Amino acid sequence: MSHPAQPPSFSLKEAQDAEQVDAALRLLVSKDLAGAERLLTDVVSRAPRDPRDYVHSYEQDGSLHIKFWSVEEFAYYATRNQEEFQQRKQQIVWMKNAYPRAFFYLGFVREAQGDHEGAIRWLDEGMKLEPGHPSFRLELARAWSGLKQYERALALYTEVEEMGEEISADTRAIALRGKGFQLIEMGHLDHAERCFLDSLKLEPGNDIALNELEYIQHLREGGQKMGSELTTNGGEKALCCAQCGGDLDGGSMFNDEGRVICFCKQCVEAAEEIIRQENAARTQPPKKKWWQFWS
């Protein structure tokens, strides 16, 4: 990661735009896709036209300032590089990310609407600003898969997987499952099986991977192939359940510190039951957010 010699200013407008992205995510959570799209389109109208003018990180007053997408992303980066920063006696300062996130969620909205080509256009633009962020490739892969361009999707998922420990284990697991979905569509069942098994090493017990392994066995036994909508984790709908991978269908979305998480109604009800049991077992409420009980 390179940093300019002189720290650039983080303009008040960019900070306000980051807050506007958060406002758009709140609209996504309330399932107001059109309202979210209006706010996000306004934000990207102020994004740097030349990607070279966009600054993702810089040093100032002995601290490293980085524009992270979420608390989760900040925590992973800080933990992974903790020893290095301790040796350098340097602090990491989290600054809210505005423009790459805005482009990403515009692509997210278009993909949720089934507009794969529109999603690809927004995601490609956003990736020019922050080419190293895995979310762009993951969502682009979903869009290309929706267009049945499985080889292109497979290549993108592979790029994310090969980022290794630069990204979190759950993100690598998502990439491996994505590879598995594409390989099933391409008829490479043995390779697909390996991807899902490898993903389980990173996320043991993941329901999506376990279901796909059962589906692979079903195909090997001569079972009928299901449509790609089922085997690509949502088909034309980007808004699928983060726990079981199924259709949202009456479920809920949550803004988790700059990241939209979706759950179907059944998984939400299961989580609420976990909370009731936890609260009954102790006087203090659980410190974890309810969706983190699955981790």
Convert the pLDDT of each residue in 69-115 to its tens digit.
988 899 899 899 888 888 888 888 889 999 999 999 999 999 999 99
Same domain, 226 and 157: yes
pLDDT mean over 3-30: 80
- For the cut 50, the answer to whether the pLDDT of residue 236 exceeds it is no
Please report the pLDDT score of residue 117 as a whole number: 97
Please report the pLDDT score of residue 246 as a whole number: 60
Please report the pLDDT score of residue 290 as a whole number: 46
Angstrom distance (rounded) from CA 47 to CA 53 = 9
Please report the pLDDT score of residue 61 as a whole number: 85
Q: Is residue 267 part of a domain?
A: yes
Angstrom distance (rounded) from CA 151 to CA 142 = 12
Same domain, 95 and 183: no
Task: For residue 205, give its domain range.
Answer: 132-232
Q: Is residue 127 part of a domain?
A: no
State pLDDT tens for residues 160-190: 999 999 999 999 999 999 999 999 999 999 9
Same domain, 136 and 221: yes
Same domain, 150 and 220: yes
Please report the pLDDT score of residue 120 as a whole number: 98
Residue 257 burial by Cβ neighbours in a 10 Å radius (0-12, 13-18, 19+): middle
Q: Which of 153-162, 206-215, 251-260, 268-277 has the lowest mean pLDDT?
A: 251-260
Q: Is residue 118 part of a domain?
A: no
User: pTM score, two decimals?
Assistant: 0.78
State percent of the chain over pLDDT 90: 58
> Which is higher by pLDDT, 252 or 30?
30
Per DSSP (E only), the strands in the chain are 57-60, 63-68, 91-96, 252-255, 260-263
Domain boundary among the residues 85, 113, 141 is at 113
> Which is higher by pLDDT, 226 or 51?
51
Residues shown for the chain: 295
> Which is higher by pLDDT, 151 or 81?
151
Between the CA of residue 199 and those of 117, 136, 180, 194, 251, what are the distances in Å? 29, 20, 9, 8, 26
Same domain, 257 and 205: no
Mean of pLDDT over the chain: 83
- For the cut 80, the answer to whether the pLDDT of residue 12 exceeds it is yes
Q: What's the pLDDT band for 66 if we cut at 50, 70, 90?
A: very high
Q: Is residue 95 part of a domain?
A: yes
Please report the pLDDT score of residue 88 as a whole number: 84
* Number of domains the chain contains: 3
State pLDDT tens for residues 189-223: 999 999 999 999 999 999 999 999 999 999 999 98
Q: What's the pLDDT band for 250 if we cut at 50, 70, 90?
A: low
> Which is higher by pLDDT, 245 or 19?
19
Same domain, 164 and 221: yes
- For the cut 50, the answer to whether the pLDDT of residue 136 exceeds it is yes
Please report the pLDDT score of residue 252 as a whole number: 58
pLDDT mean over 137-159: 97
Please report the pLDDT score of residue 295 as a whole number: 34
Between the CA of residue 106 and those of 103, 122, 202, 264, 294, what are the distances in Å? 5, 6, 29, 22, 28
Tokens of 45: 């109208």
